[in-house]
């Protein structure tokens, strides 16, 4: 028995499926691929699958992963990759299969790219609205937690934010806390920009990568 980490991208229409639906989709693909999976014991056995960190709905992912446990030692990483590629839709392409080097619990940071396309005005005006928001002494936001809504200041978490106009859109690149200890969604920033600066735009968001506490790339 061995555990492998399957790396894939979440693109196109797949951005709009929930994490639960993604889990079901991956389970069906693993079944169709005839990969010799290890199943949990008990009354309702299930294939062992552990996703590193679920994506928010509507967000694309450049480097997502799921750990699976395989009973057959002789099956190679290339075989797993090729079988899953044939079983999954084109919007969930598998690009690598590796041995896990870090536990998902080590994830502490995530990097994002947000492309904001203004619905009115132009990208320069939208950039001015963003700069005005960032210039506030505080950026109060509300966040859903297990115990209900939490109110906090988003500004201290935006120290690693850069932005620039690209064509007719405003591109934002930022690093935010992520993982089981603290998880700050970049959508909190776009919601604050809409509500506090009356900005109107379409947002295309991507999670680029995951990191541990020391900013080592999650592997």
17-35 tens-digit pLDDT:
999 999 999 999 998 999 9
List, in sequence order, every beta strand (DSSP E) within 52-200: 60-70, 94-98, 107-118, 140-145, 148-153, 161-166, 169-177
What domains sit in the chain, N to C, each tagged with a CATH number?
2-100 (3.30.70.580), 105-212 (3.30.70)
pLDDT at 105: 94
* Measured distance CA(38)–CA(53) in Å, rounded: 22
- Judge whether 106 and 153 are in contact, CB under 8 Å: no
pLDDT at 33: 92
Of the candidates 66, 155, 69, 172, the residue with the CA atom closest to the CA atom of residue 117: 172
Q: Is the whole model's pTM more than 0.85, yes or no?
A: yes
Q: What is the mean pLDDT of residues 26-54?
A: 86
Which range (38-47, 92-101, 127-136) has the least confidence?
A: 38-47
∠ CA 56-104-211, nearest 5°, is: 75
pLDDT exceeds cutoff 90 at 45: no
pLDDT at 1: 81
pLDDT tens digits along 167-217: 999 999 999 999 988 899 999 999 999 999 999 999 999 999 999 999 999
């Amino acid at each position: 028995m061995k555990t492998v980490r399957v790396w894939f991208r979440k693109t196109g229409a797949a951005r709009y499926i929930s994490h639960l639906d993604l889990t079901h989709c991956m389970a069906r693909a693993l079944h169709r691929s005839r990969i010799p999976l290890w199943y949990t014991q008990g009354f309702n056995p299930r294939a062992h699958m552990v996703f590193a960190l679920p994506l928010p709905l509507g967000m694309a992912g450049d480097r997502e992963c799921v750990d699976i446990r395989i009973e057959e030692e002789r099956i190679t990483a290339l075989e797993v990759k090729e079988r899953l590629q044939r079983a999954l839709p084109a919007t969930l392409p598998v690009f690598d299969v590796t041995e896990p080097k870090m536990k998902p619990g080590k994830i502490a940071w995530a990097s994002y790219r947000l492309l904001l396309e203004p619905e009115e005005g132009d990208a320069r005006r939208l950039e001015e609205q963003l700069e005005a928001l960032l210039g506030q002494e505080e950026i109060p936001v509300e966040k859903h937690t297990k115990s209900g809504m939490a109110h906090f200041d988003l500004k201290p978490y935006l120290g690693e934010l850069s932005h620039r106009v690209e064509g007719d859109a405003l591109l934002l690149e930022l690093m935010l806390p992520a993982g089981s200890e603290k998880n700050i969604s970049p959508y909190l920033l776009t919601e604050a920009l809409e509500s506090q600066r009356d900005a109107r735009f379409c947002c295309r968001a991507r999670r680029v990568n995951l990191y541990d506490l020391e900013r080592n790339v999650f592997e």
